[in-house]
Amino acid sequence: MESSPASDKADTSSLREAASEFASYPGVQNDASAKEFLDRFPLPFLFGVLQTEVDVAGLEQAIVECLDRILRTRYGASLLPHYVDFIAAGLGANSPAIKCLACKSISYTLENSEDKATATEILVGHNIYPLLINCLVDGDEQTSTVSLNAIKSIAKTSQGIHVIFPPNNTEEALQLKDIAGHSSSEARIRILSLIKDLFSLSESFASAIYESNLLSLFELEINSRNDILATLSALEILYELVESSHSSTFLLKSSLLDLLTNIIRNDLVDSILRSRAMLISGRLLYPPDSYRSIEDSRVKQLLTAIDRRLNVILGQNTGEVEIVLESLGLIGSSAEGANFLLTSSSHGAKLVIESAFDRQDKGKQLAALLAFGSISGANRAEERRILNDNAEGCLKHLVYETAANSSKLMPSGLFLAVLQQEPNMRLAAYRLISALVSRAWCLIEVCSKLEIISLVVDANIEDTKIGMEARFDCCAAISNALSASSLVNDAKVAEMAAMLQEAVRRGPYLTKKHVEPQPLVITAERF
């Protein structure tokens, strides 16, 4: 006897209630609960319901949310390799919710599989990767995000690079370039995000992307300038890409460096694009622990362009000055970059040091203090903080010259002044002094004012965790520098050293010394 439409609707209604109850369970669903539900409603049945248009309000959403929780369990994910046909169908579904579930299913499969190689082979056999690319490009924002995560899950497997860049086959790379050439600006930005994420995974992926000429998609998007928001988005993604440790190896061989130089040089380019190009350049050229030389003539051209931009905007009351200071700090993060800034004809280092102690513009001063800290070695390993003799001589000269041209006359006065400013300035000052005290002349200046030592040992001065830790790090840096110097032979300095050691012993958060308990005497209450 065939079931009637009314009974079918009753069955699907009960399914909706069961799925909703499972999905809304407040605790964590485990393998046992997932198995119990699937014993009642097997996966093929649930997938089949999603593939048909059933006129029951909320049914699709309930099943999708229920399956999402089931497939997160190890038991649920272990079943997925047997139902890849359903996953492939879900990737092509019209419903965004089903597409998202299908994308997540791939991630769950690979994350929970004990045999990732076999799971990957099954996915490849069902042509899943191209379907994920379609979801990335054509899906809504949520679908795009989960498809990107699924592609990264595939990429992280042992065969991942061969799935995305098959040996002796450039079709996959060409597919991305071809899709980008016929897509909306939003889709092109998504493809750039994929390239960025893959590039950051490993040097092997970065090499494959470089060899496939996919970096040229960044150039095309940035050069088009038809949509300033799309151009800015492309620059933002490139900024994230150059964070990878191997970015310099490949990007400096591409024409992206020349593109950045042209953007910085061009007065007609929007200032926000120039600013972002300078920050990318600073991050790209000299990672903090870089050992790369600066013989590349294109690198020198880029630094010259930044210096020219610096001369153009000097004296202007614009936010671009702060961006230039930030980019100089990025360049100065490495010893090579700092050596270059301090010994070249550039005005960059002079601007940084003078601005760091100029209270006329708070935003500019803060940017300069942070940049000065980076040039001094705040981001470098301790053994890489000290620069070459010429650079160290220039650094000392610029600091003393800045002090002499101020009302403070000596560097110690400048240091004390910034330590007495508002909390965000003090944070930058702690960071700067922590790096500078590696130099004997700076240690002498710091110890020449008891007020400086009194401030950095005062655990009551900061009321935020980051402030307490920055103050403590500064205190420890001065203490360590003193311990390694001959200054402790001086009685006055020895007293300061003892103050510092006691502050270090108490740690960053303890604000009071040990106090013996005192008896408390009170009158008895009488009724």
> CA-based angle 140:215:221, to the nearest 5?
55
| CA separation for the pair 481, 493 (Å, rounded) | 12
pTM: 0.75
Q: How many CB atoms lie within 10 A of CB 203?
A: 13
Asked if residues 162 and 173 have their Cβ atoms less than 8 Å apart, the reply is no
Tokens of 113: 């599989």
Distance CA 527, CA 394 (A): 80
Integer angstrom CA distances of residue 55 from 16, 261, 525: 12, 59, 75
Which residue in 150, 137, 152, 53 sits closest to 100, CA to CA? 150
Which position has the token pair 């929007």? 270
Burial per residue of 333-370, b for 16 or more beta-carbon CB atoms within 10 angstroms, e otherwise: bbbbbbbbbbbbebebbebbbbbbbeeeeeebbbbbbb
Angle between the N-to-C axes of helices 59-72 and 31-40, in degrees from 0 to 180, rounded to the nearest 10 = 140
In tens digits, what is the pLDDT along the chain, a chain of 527 residues?
A: 344 333 344 467 788 888 888 888 887 778 898 888 888 888 888 888 888 866 667 788 888 888 989 888 888 888 888 888 888 888 888 889 999 999 999 998 888 877 778 888 888 888 888 899 999 998 889 999 999 999 999 999 888 888 888 876 555 555 777 887 787 888 889 999 999 999 999 999 999 898 888 998 998 888 877 778 888 899 999 999 988 878 878 887 888 888 888 888 887 888 788 888 888 887 777 655 554 555 566 667 777 777 777 666 665 555 677 877 887 888 788 887 788 888 877 777 888 898 888 888 888 889 899 999 999 988 888 888 888 899 999 999 999 999 998 888 899 999 999 998 888 898 999 999 999 999 889 988 888 888 888 888 888 888 888 888 888 888 888 888 888 887 767 777 788 888 888 888 888 876 554 445 556 555 655 54
Taking only Cα atoms into account, the Rg of the chain, rounded to an integer number of angstroms, comes to: 31
- Please give the sequence-ordered ranges of beta strands (E in DSSP) within 78-152, or none if there are none: none
